[in-house]
Structure 1
């Protein structure tokens, strides 16, 4: 694995990324590449990178997982902003970097996202036609989630509160950084927060199972207004033309990945190849790192990427230009 810092001409900060390479990697060859997009509140060292990115590299892809702007080891101030438009732009900036690498075949780039990253991956694919195939793993439309559960089904009230807090901060007040989860599974139980997704998220992010310094599951409250007016799937019927695979678990939780997965699969009618993988015995957070469900997902998505990223013996750079 190689850790890199990405900065394009129009950027004021670096994006921190980890690149994982196939077995026997050689810079003299050309490889397909997959951009791995982490969940809301996560980082590159968690599920998108250390599970799916790692597996994709083992199967012959160059896999790049990165920290979103304002989060993890990436730059941008203030910290912990979750801005959907920026998250989608980050995908394009990472692709801008990939196409400068001599060992990446620019015609064979895919994107994979997990949870909120799945929604961002879908949205990026609508307009970023350098993406040739997309896979959403238990993907969530973060705009829909903010308008519903994350605002206690009071989006207008949330917007008023965000505006008031932003005014207070502009006048020198302290930033309000919201912790999105209880500090531990025991604390979740003690406070009655045992709903499947909340409890399982806590078990992943707040224990040794998945805890990482950059994936702290927190958000700057005052800068989240635009999330409530964002839709990951807008214009999907017209613009989502690339092959798309949607992987969901049938054990339903409050964050809504099952319903969002069913929605985007149903709306992706312009896709060249749309596939729905619905796993009967598994939940949203099972698909983050548990061996059996992630294995079932990989069993489907690896051949999907190999098909649509033109599986073939890597060519030399010289051969590719002849």
Structure 2
């Protein structure tokens, strides 16, 4: 696998999107390749699981992969920083496809999307209306709107919205931006303060240790600009609009972020899909599916035949 840092923008964008373009070792630009748009988790960046794990595995299997940083995050442009806007996140997928179809070696009729955690739900949501996506995969997909309405707002979304409104007005009048850190600062802090729920603890182990810690993976959110997340549903209208082949990969070791539950929901709603598949991994958790070699290997045993069937690496 070869990796090249690139950037792109659309005519309607005021900033660049930073991305990694991953190609197979035997890449020949005179040939046509199927392409995968790889979407990183909430609070993550392109250098983490979306490129280094799933992007690499897919490029090694013969795909061209574009793993990019979301607008306002990582090395991509956009101000203010640390905005997590679901509509923008979904639009970024279309912009990555816009770039992909300009590459002479990409077959624009063989494009798929894959995402991890929040990125998986964004990929599913994009596929509802972005029919250039011919197949879509969510790895432990988390519907961020549902998570914000529940655990992230302490099950009081109206109070969260009131606080966001107050903070946004204060910032408009010159107050300092409120950027919330979403995880404990260290494993030791988590243990000392009883923050040992599976997903919280394992997220800390991934994002706050050398295992996955990367400069662009900020795990931060601009509080005052998160209002619209609470009214967003990644899976709205999936019963009608999810027509492409889809696969949800989930671990049966359940945590508070809800990837297991959300994966089952989108699978259940996707009955209009031409080929819907639910892959349950019995002994693995949400964050095992980020980078655990055995868990990822098992997942890829389902992912690669699915993509080959619908994109035909050699076709």
Superposition TM-score tier, normalisation by shorter sequence: over 0.9
Q: Given the alignment, which residue of 290, 305, 308 partners 1:306?
A: 308
Runs of 4 or more consecutive aligned structure 1 residues displaced over 4 Å after TM superposition: none
State the distance in 1 between where 2:288 and 2:26 align.
31
Matches of residues 34-183 of structure 1 in structure 2 within 5 Å? 34-183=36-185
- Unaligned segments of structure 2, at least 5 residues: none
Residue in 2 that maps onto 1:318: none
- Residues 187-242 of structure 1 deviation map (CA, whole Å, 9 limit, x = unaligned): 01111100000000000000000000000100000000000000000000000000
Q: 2:34 touches 2:311 (CA, 8 Å); kept in 1? A: yes
Give the CA deviation at 1:248. 0.1
Q: Kindly report which structure 2 residues correspond to 1:166-205, keeping only aligned pairs within 5 A, or say none.
A: 166-205=168-207
- For 1:198 and 1:216, the matched residues in 2 are separated by 15
CA distance in 2, matches of 1:138, 1:290: 13
2-side partners of 1:141 and 1:75: how far apart? 24
The separation in 2 between residues aligned to 1:288 and 1:296, in whole angstroms, is: 12
Partners of 1:106 and 1:18 in 2: CA distance: 19
**Secondary structure of residue in 1 paired with 2:190:** helix
1:213 aligns with 2:215: yes
Give the drift of 1:2.
1.0
Equivalent of 1:20 in 19, 22, 34 = 22
Instruction: Give the TM-score normalised by structure 1.
Output: 0.97
Please give the per-residue CA displacement for 1:244-297, whole angstroms capped at 9, x wherever unaligned: 000000000000011101111111000000000000000000000001000001
Q: What is the distance in 2 between the residues matched to 1:127 and 1:59?
A: 28
Contact 2:63–2:313 (CA<8 Å) still a contact in 1?
no
Gaps of 5+ in 1: 314-322
Q: TM (normalized to structure 2)?
A: 0.99
What is the CA distance between 1:311 and its match in structure 2? 3.2
* CA–CA distance in structure 2, aligned partners of residues 63 and 49 of structure 1: 8
Please provide the CA RMSD for this pair: 0.6
1:306 and 1:36 mapped to 2: Cα distance?
A: 16
Shift of 1:306: 1.0
1:225 aligns with 2:227: yes
Distance in 1 separating the partners of 2:260 and 2:70: 24
1:264 aligns with 2:290: no
Aligned-residue offset at 1:310: 2.6
